[in-house]
Amino acid sequence: MRRTSARGSDTAGGERVLILSAGVGSGHNSAAAAVHQACAARADIAEVQVLDVLDVSSVLYRTLLGKGYFVLVEGLPWLVEWGYDISNPPFRRRGPIDPWTQVNAAPVIRAIKRFRPTAIVCTHFLPAQLLASLLLRGVIDAKTAVVTTDYDFQGLWLTGAFHMIFVAREEGRVELMALGLPPDRVAATGIPITKQLNPATARDANEPPMLLISAGATGGDYAFSVVRQTMHMRSAFTATVVCGHNDALRQRIEQLVAPAGDRYRVLGFTAEMPQLLRRADLFVGKPGGLSASECMAAGLPMVLVNPIPGQEVRNGDYLMEQGAAVRCNTAATIGWKIDEVLREPDRLQRMQAAAWRTGRPDAAADVLTGLLDGPSRPLVVTRAAQRTILAASEQRVIATDLTGPSSLVRLVDSAAGSTVALLQAEELGDLQKRYATPNGDLVLRRGQAPLLLRWEERRLLRAMLRGDDALPVRVVGLSAPPRVLPG
């Protein structure tokens, strides 16, 4: 997926926004499309480009990442769950990009250099990890944002350099601050979804409830069992079944529901999904991050079936915690579970109200505002600080509890007030020897005995200074709990 749009000449010289995604499932690209749409509402953006990094990768790399994931989901779900858990600790991977990924990243780097972005938004962790390397090497000088696409934060998304991280909910923001990340670099915006410009269609209280049964974009076979179970329900209802790109599934379901007359409407892949979400009373399907966010923004409660182990199970936990969803753990009880909700109109209304409260329809616009109006220098997390964060996470210790040489300190830009580095306390030694001021702060300078500095310190200085010769910073410890700013 590669899309470029330019604004009129009145915006010449404005922001050039590059949106990087990866087509592992449809959610990451959907979030990228939502940010692309939000760019049109800002007069300060001159040009936008969306790039699916897998589109410019080798066929083998694209197949293994794009299709291989769903093969595992269908055949070895326990392995998917294991993979999620093993990659969840923050900064478990701290080394350089592996050679195979590096080779496949070369076309992406060329695309970045051709476009010359002033801001880059990543809706997948693969390009986010690449951008961290480019920032630290001085290859790019664009503001970079990491935008997560599930309700639970996964440590795999954390990188060693970025400008902003946007998470789906406040708990994720609190978690990252507990690990030591500064509050000025993390925002809870929600998951970006495409905004519907037409007014919502009011649900008709005189009509029987409408179920929206979704098989997902790829058309999961689980939808056949769901539809079959609804045929045993006693409550009055109508149902629209969306089968995605799976034509064989659509034909099977059409044959199954043929005796039910016009109670069921069966569709393949459809562009009507936003309208269907607003007309339906109850969604039945998987709790993918984007699907769930779209339902919440439409005030549409969910009946969760067949979640992918890992992120979708956690998405479902959050939705149930908010009162906006129920989950079916066995195919045999799906019809009964839906009946239980429909037989209690008050319960359905409470779930709809909970969905409205949970929805974040302006997430994409909030991401752009947070990035473009946010700090101009990146935040650099040194590898020593990454080791500390990983160890603290595994020991269930928060950053403010750490003491001694391995505790964390922040360097704060004295003029802008933004945090520019997170490092171990013992790493301050060389910096204080060379750059200390009488009041205990530092003035970092370019070219001041660079060969005497360690490699990590040289990399840190290059990323923080950017094009400047000097940068005054304050040293701030984490001995007191960070102040939680409004999300």
The tens digit of pLDDT for each residue in 259-298 reads 998 999 999 998 888 899 999 999 999 999 999 999 999 9
DSSP string, 8-66: -GGGTTSEEEEEEE--SSSHHHHHHHHHHHHHTT-TTEEEEEEEEGGGGS-HHHHIIII
Q: Which of 348, 372, 396 is the last residue of a domain?
A: 372
Q: Which of 315, 344, 372 is the last residue of a domain?
A: 372
Res 366: pLDDT? 97
Q: Which of 341, 372, 403 is the last residue of a domain?
A: 372
Task: Determine the Cα–Cα distance for residues 40 and 117; give it in Å rounded to an integer.
Answer: 16
Res 196: pLDDT? 77
Q: Supply the pTM of this predicted model.
A: 0.90
Could you tell me if 138 and 7 lie in one domain?
Answer: yes
Side chain identity at 326, as an amino acid letter?
V
- Which helix H or strand E contains 404, and what residues bound it? none
Side chain identity at 338, as an amino acid letter?
I
Res 485: pLDDT? 46
Res 199: pLDDT? 59
Query: Residue 205 falls within a domain, yes or no?
Result: no
Could you tell me if 120 and 252 lie in one domain?
Answer: no
Query: Residue 298 falls within a domain, yes or no?
Result: yes
Could you tell me if 55 and 178 lie in one domain?
Answer: yes
Could you tell me if 292 and 409 lie in one domain?
Answer: no
Q: Work out the number of other CB atoms within 10 angstroms of the CB of residue 116.
A: 12
Could you tell me if 268 and 404 lie in one domain?
Answer: no
Query: Residue 486 falls within a domain, yes or no?
Result: no
Task: Determine the Cα–Cα distance for residues 325 and 320; give it in Å rounded to an integer.
Answer: 5
Could you tell me if 33 and 117 lie in one domain?
Answer: yes
Could you tell me if 353 and 368 lie in one domain?
Answer: no
Could you tell me if 222 and 290 lie in one domain?
Answer: yes
Token pair recorded at residue 50? 């969306």
Task: Determine the Cα–Cα distance for residues 103 and 289; give it in Å rounded to an integer.
Answer: 30
Res 82: pLDDT? 82
Could you tell me if 171 and 52 lie in one domain?
Answer: yes
| Domain count across the chain | 3
Task: Determine the Cα–Cα distance for residues 424 and 478; give it in Å rounded to an integer.
Answer: 11
Could you tell me if 141 and 239 lie in one domain?
Answer: no
Q: Residue 400 sits in which domain range?
A: 379-477
Query: Residue 485 falls within a domain, yes or no?
Result: no
Question: What CATH number is associated with residue 160?
Answer: 3.40.50.2000
Query: Residue 36 falls within a domain, yes or no?
Result: yes
Query: Residue 464 falls within a domain, yes or no?
Result: yes
Task: Determine the Cα–Cα distance for residues 70 and 77; give it in Å rounded to an integer.
Answer: 9
Res 487: pLDDT? 46
Could you tell me if 344 and 437 lie in one domain?
Answer: no
Query: Residue 84 falls within a domain, yes or no?
Result: yes
CA distances to 43, 48, 238, 251, 461 from 142, in Å:
19, 14, 50, 49, 17
Res 9: pLDDT? 39
Query: Residue 440 falls within a domain, yes or no?
Result: yes
Segments in the chain below pLDDT 70: 1-2, 5-12, 65-71, 73, 94-100, 197-204, 448-453, 479-487
Task: Determine the Cα–Cα distance for residues 298 and 278; give it in Å rounded to an integer.
Answer: 6
Could you tell me if 22 and 131 lie in one domain?
Answer: yes
Instruction: Write the burial class of residue 243 (CB in 10 Å: 0-12 exposed, 13-18 middle, 19+ buried).
Output: buried
Task: Determine the Cα–Cα distance for residues 477 and 408; give it in Å rounded to an integer.
Answer: 7
Give the sign of the dihedral formed by CA 385, CA 390, CA 394, CA 398. Answer: positive
